[in-house]
Structure 1
Amino acid sequence: MHRTKIAAGFAAVALLATACSQGSATKGATGSDGKVTLRYFTFSAAPDHVKDLDKIIAGFEKENPKIHIQVETAPFDQYFTKLQTSIAGGTAPDTFELNYENFVTYASAGSLLDLNTVAGDGDSSVYAQESLNAFKHDGKQYALPASFSTVVLFYNKDLFKKAGVAEPTADWTWAEEQAAAAKLTDKKKGIYGDFQPVQFFEFYKTLKQAGGEFLAPDGKKSAFDSPAGVKAATWLASKVGKTMPTEAEIGGTADYDTNLFKSGKLAMWHNGIWQFAGLKDVPFGWDVVVEPGDAAKASAVFHNAVAASSTTKHGKEAWAWARYLSSSGTAASTRIESSWELPPVSDQSVLSGYLKDPKPANRQAVFDSLKSIALPPVIKRQQEMQDAVTKELGEAAAGRKSVPDALKSAATAVDALLG
């Protein structure tokens, strides 16, 4: 799963606002035996961690024999479209996964249950405070943080060795990555030196690396149409057709970059630690390092949480499930043992086991990347903003617009969304 742009066939805010007054036809049901069935919708479990989620559910149901969790999954690029549709149609799941970027949209629309209104006994100090605060809105706790992940630079050690190129280090800059990628690219053999999607999620991070900001300090106007923005967008777009495939070569193939890396045809890959589990059996050596920077270091950090629908009929059960999934020892150990992102717990000793897994060897890079964080900009019309930026970056990458013109168009579109 890469954080590619999510296709949104309609405006999320309008859909969610419409849904606020609707009930759900398929809310978690109570059986004749008094057992409650809660629906849980997730994007991060499939395809690599369904069994891990089952393990967590088994632990929860053992402790809560009157609650059954019914899992539904969708790939990330389809997930929010389906979630929006279900909320608008009055068939929202009782509980569902939310990422930090889309949280504000759902909280603002009234689609989420204030968990403090149904919370049982529970010590909030078990969470890393910054992760807990990320899912508060207007002072209310609308979701509990369930996991976090970072983006790092993956690299194929065998390709580096074969090309006689020194492996990346934590001190690398864009220039060093670019020089290595050029030496590692061999189009005749179908080998590419680098892959970094030209889209919103990579742009706000590279913008930070270039020393720029996405929004003005007051959050009311865009700030990325700047020299730093041009530098960041040029860095991304200039790779296309040189050290990474073009849009035409990718041909709309899903998970193209994942398959390219797994096949041993990609030397460097900007992606998230959620990819670790799927790479355990590849037939070549690989490792990770903190991503190169330019004016500064900056690493993308993503937070996922579990929320409950404001229309669920089983708020207390939903809170119990959210609490268990986000903070129980079973959930934390399962995530760590399976490399399924990381639990946002305050007890750092819980995370120490993560470093013991030998693949990749440099897991310390995951924690080192937390020293310089680039959080995604968040506005109420989040999806529209992401789509607008990605669209214009795509125009620049395809050569249909210059980088400055593309950024100017993107800034105009974002300012209209902020107005």
Structure 2
Amino acid sequence: MNKKPVAALGLALAAILSTTGCGSAAKSDASSNEKVTIKYSNFTSNGGNEKNLDTIVQAFEKANPNITVQVTTLPYKDYATALQTDLSAGTQADTFDIEYANLGSYVANGAVAPLDGVDGSKYKESLLKSYQSDGKQYALPSSFSDVVLYFNKDLFDKAGVKYPTASWTWADETAAAKKITDSGAGVYGDFQNVSFYEFYKALEQTGGKFLNDDGKSVAFNSPQGVKAAEWLAGKSGTTMPTPAQGAGTPDFDTKLFKDGKLGMLHSGIWVASSFADTPKNWDIVVEPGDTQKASALFSNAVAVSANTKNQAAAQKWAEFMTSSEVMAQTRISSGWELPPTSDESVLKPYLTKDKPANRKAVFDALEHVALPPVIGDNQQKMVDIITNALGEVEAKRSSASDALKGAADQINALLK
């Protein structure tokens, strides 16, 4: 899977949040007749969607003439540093973008305000719940992307294999991949990165879990974990090219699919535009599971600062930016990720576009979501430990059981 950089910002902010007090300041919301300015700091519109954000802002200000939204847009790479500085000085914006990986640190340190009176029916349930903690809503999802299974219809036809369906399991995928693979011709049946970001999802697809309920120890060193590791690593050199054959090269998987040399690809919806012209016949479906479905979800959200003096107005903007019809239509028409809306009628323009034909799979995948485990400051170490352990299994230098036992010992030490 080509993973978007979801966790990086949360890791960068963890240190500053652990040392900076973000206590809630007194709120003094303006009356309905008083004009107020709400500051909104974001990274999601940077790089081509600034005008789309302005369209949403103008619509909000027209509907709320007493509220002005002052926007600051920063590149993703600069956003964490700027927000760190603002948090240290207590000058953060009234509302700001966050990601799922950030939420725990923000809540623990009182940086974000709990949101009351949110109409949850406007949002996809799994997206909304991912920004909740202890039964409270601390941010509102503004956009999302997820991972699906791409498949080349021509290669399926050539191998005499029926196309994937929503009811497929790992066994179905493996059987099809074996029939499609022709390594002599450079054709492979399957591609799924052997990494942490695929492992936690595959683990959930087996019915297993990564961390124990208390979050103080790991649970992946289990029969389900072994099965998940073997599922991923076992593809390498059989139905999937090895790292030596190019699998470790960036974007090798998408190039292989575009060249018509790959039957199935586990990847995010953000690569769909790469396949507009080639291969000729392709589609998507919800990823197969083992004992259950579980799809990787990546999302952004808008939070309200605990220090804002205009919380009601700030929350009104946060809700508009994440649930209004103007927002949804703007995102869909421009291709600016996907809106979190639950309104099927709003989504119709997206669903009726050209390739892929089964765009509904993007939303069906939200019915069973696998969120990445988050452990705070040591997140990247955890990611590296799992990826390295899987690499040992893939290279056949270790059994899945031994590799996961070693990884479990290392990560448990991080959790102490």
TM surpasses 0.5:
yes
Number of paired residues?
A: 397
SS in 1 for 2:365: helix
Is the partner of 2:208 in helix, strand or coil?
coil
Q: Distance in 2 between matches of 1:362 and 1:285?
A: 12
Tell me which residue corresponds to 1:106.
106
* Deviation by residue 1:328-373 (Cα, 9 ceiling, x = unmatched): 1111123334555443334444334443223211223234334444
- From the superposition, tell whether residues 18 and 156 of structure 1 become closer, same or farther in structure 2 (CA, over 3 Å): same
In the alignment, what sits opposite 1:27? none
Q: 1:223 to 1:36 in 2, by over 3 A?
A: closer
Gaps of 5+ in 1: 23-33
Return closer, same or farther for 1:293/1:12 CA change in 2, 3 Å cut-off: same
Residue identity in the other structure for 1:99: E
Q: 1:192 aligns with which of 188, 191, 197?
A: 188
1:418 and 2:405 aligned:
no
The one-letter amino acid of 1:401's match is S
Specify which of 170, 173, 195 is matched with residue 174 of structure 1: 170
Alignment of 1:268-279 (within 5 A): 268-279=264-275
Q: For residue 26 of structure 2, what is the aligned residue in structure 1?
A: none
CA distance in 2, matches of 1:175, 1:227: 17
**Given the superposition, is the C-alpha separation of residues 38 and 219 from structure 1 closer, same or farther in structure 2, using an over 3 Å criterion?**
closer
Q: 1:300 touches 1:375 (CA, 8 Å); kept in 2?
A: yes
- The aligned residue for residue 159 of structure 1 is 155
Q: Distance in 1 between matches of 2:121 and 2:109?
A: 28
Residue 43 of structure 2 aligns to a residue whose secondary structure is strand
Per the alignment, do residues 347 and 7 of structure 1 end up closer, same or farther by CA in structure 2, a change over 3 Å counting?
closer
Q: Over residues 32-80 of structure 1, what are the superposed CA-to-partner deviations in whole Å (9 max), with x where a residue is unaligned? A: xx987643112xx576866654544554466578434233333xxxx5x
In structure 1, the residue matched to 2:253 is 257
Instruction: Tell me which residue corresponds to 1:397.
Output: 394
The 5 A counterparts of 1:13-412 are 13-20=14-21, 38-42=40-44, 52-53=52-53, 55-57=55-57, 59-60=59-60, 66-74=68-76, 82-90=78-86, 94=93, 95-110=95-110, 112-114=111-113, 116=115, 123=119, 125-128=121-124, 131-138=127-134, 141-250=137-246, 253-308=249-304, 319-338=315-334, 340-381=336-377, 383-384=379-380, 385-412=382-409
2:413 and 2:287 mapped to 1: Cα distance? Answer: 32
Determine helix, strand or coil for the equivalent of 1:276: helix
Q: Taking structure 1 as reference, are residues 217 and 237 closer, same or farther at Cα in structure 2, changes over 3 Å only? A: same
Structure 2 stretches lacking a partner, 5+ long: 24-35
Match of 1:28 in 2: none
- 1:106–1:416 distance in 2 versus 1, CA, 3 Å: farther
Asked whether the equivalents of residues 181 and 187 of structure 2 are also in contact (C-alpha less than 8 Å), the reply is: yes
Q: State whether residues 177 and 292 of structure 1, in contact with CA within 8 Å, keep that contact through their aligned partners in structure 2.
A: yes
Match in the other structure for 1:31: none
Q: Tell me how far 1:292 sits from its aligned partner.
A: 1.7
- Measured against aligned partners, the alpha-carbon deviations of 1:265-290 in whole angstroms (never above 9, x if no partner) come to 33211122333344334351210112
| Pairwise CA distance, 1:145 | 1.4
Letter in 2 for 1:71: T
Separation (CA, whole Å) in 2 of partners of 1:99 and 1:241: 35
Over 3 Å counting, the alpha-carbon distance change for 1:129 and 1:264 in structure 2 is closer
Q: Distance in 2 between matches of 1:161 and 1:246?
A: 25
Q: For 2:253, what is the secondary structure of its paired residue?
A: helix
CA RMSD of aligned residues (A): 3.8
> Which digits, 9 at most, give the CA deviation of each residue in 1:76-105, with x for residues without a partner?
xxx5xx544444444897454333233213
Q: Contact conserved, 2:12 with 2:80, CA < 8 A, in 1?
A: no
Q: For the Cα contact (< 8 Å) 1:12–1:381, is it kept in 2?
A: no
Change (3 A) 1:251 1:158: closer
Q: Is the 8 A contact 2:38 2:314 kept in 1?
A: no
Distance 1:242 1:99, change over 3 A: farther
Residues in 1 aligned to 2:290 and 2:247: alpha-carbon distance in whole angstroms: 31
